[in-house]
Amino acid sequence: MIRYVFQALSFEPLTPDVIREIVQLPAIATLIFPAAIPNFPDQEDIRLSSPREFELSIVPEFYQTDMDCRVSLLSGQGVKLSSTIKTDHKIMPSNTLLEFNSEHLHSSTVDLSLLKMLITEIVPVFRPGKVTVYAWPKKLSELQSGSAIGPNGDYYPIRMGWLSYFGEVLVDRLGVESFRTLEVCDEIIPIHNGLLVVLTSDPFNPDDENHRAREEAAIEHLGLRRLLGKPKPW
């Protein structure tokens, strides 16, 4: 079984209210609900049948600290949504993660069109500089690592994965022409002044040498390592 992660990173100033907006997105409603918010071990999970029932006021206190506000929701099929809004967004980005696996792909619980839809919906709400959908390899050493520095001191993983959305600022920094001449991907889609790169039409397989070679070729062609910065913990 292959584990996949949808990762959106935002260095924009956001408030915890944006979590409710994310939960209300149609793609999230399709993927997550009915859902449960994990609670303290000695208390029952908070169960929600629809996005309309979600409010920040029902989230257990342990999800909130002086540094961030986070929420996790788990679907009945095992798809997990986590969203964390950072108080100091200039040091660490706010992030939204969606975790699923190859069994969800085989059952069509998750598919490429739904992931494209989610990226299209989340960009104007969460304002991410980069969104990546990637697969965990069997060997962690094979996972692309390192961070590329953005024009405002923000950092993003040097990773293409299955899908990668580059916000307008990153597109400008890397150069539109480098995307126009990128031949190792199956599709490039303009979304909200940014560009979504679909590396493979089929689910990215980290054990497939051709898939890994395509990812490496895309990283080199776009020049992501030219922007190599200090390692960051994501």
Quote the pLDDT of residue 17: 93
| Residue 223: partners with Cβ closer than 8 Å, 6 or more residues away | 174, 175, 178
pTM, two decimal places: 0.90
Q: What distance in Å separates the CA atoms of residue 130 and residue 123, rounded to the nearest whole number?
A: 9
**What does the DSSP 8-state code read for residue 228?**
B
Q: What distance in Å separates the CA atoms of residue 113 and residue 155, rounded to the nearest whole number?
A: 28
Q: How is residue 13 written in tokens?
A: 């100033």
Whether 162 and 200 have beta carbons less than 8 Å apart is answered as yes
Quote the pLDDT of residue 60: 86
What pairing do the DSSP bridges indicate for beta strands 187-191 and 194-198? antiparallel
Quote the pLDDT of residue 90: 63
Quote the pLDDT of residue 89: 59
Q: How far apart are the first and last CA of the chain?
A: 22
What pairing do the DSSP bridges indicate for beta strands 163-166 and 194-198? antiparallel
Q: Tell me the Ramachandran region of residue 218: left when phi exceeds 0, alpha when psi lies from -120 to 50, beta otherwise.
A: alpha
What torsion do the CA atoms of 56, 167, 185, 222 make, to the nearest 10 degrees?
-130
Per-residue pLDDT of the chain (234 residues; tens, 9 = 90+): 999 999 999 999 999 999 999 999 999 999 999 999 998 777 899 999 999 999 999 998 888 877 789 999 999 999 999 999 987 756 788 999 999 999 999 999 999 999 999 999 999 999 999 999 999 876 555 455 556 566 666 778 888 999 999 999 899 989 999 999 999 999 999 999 999 999 999 999 998 999 999 999 999 999 988 765 544 444
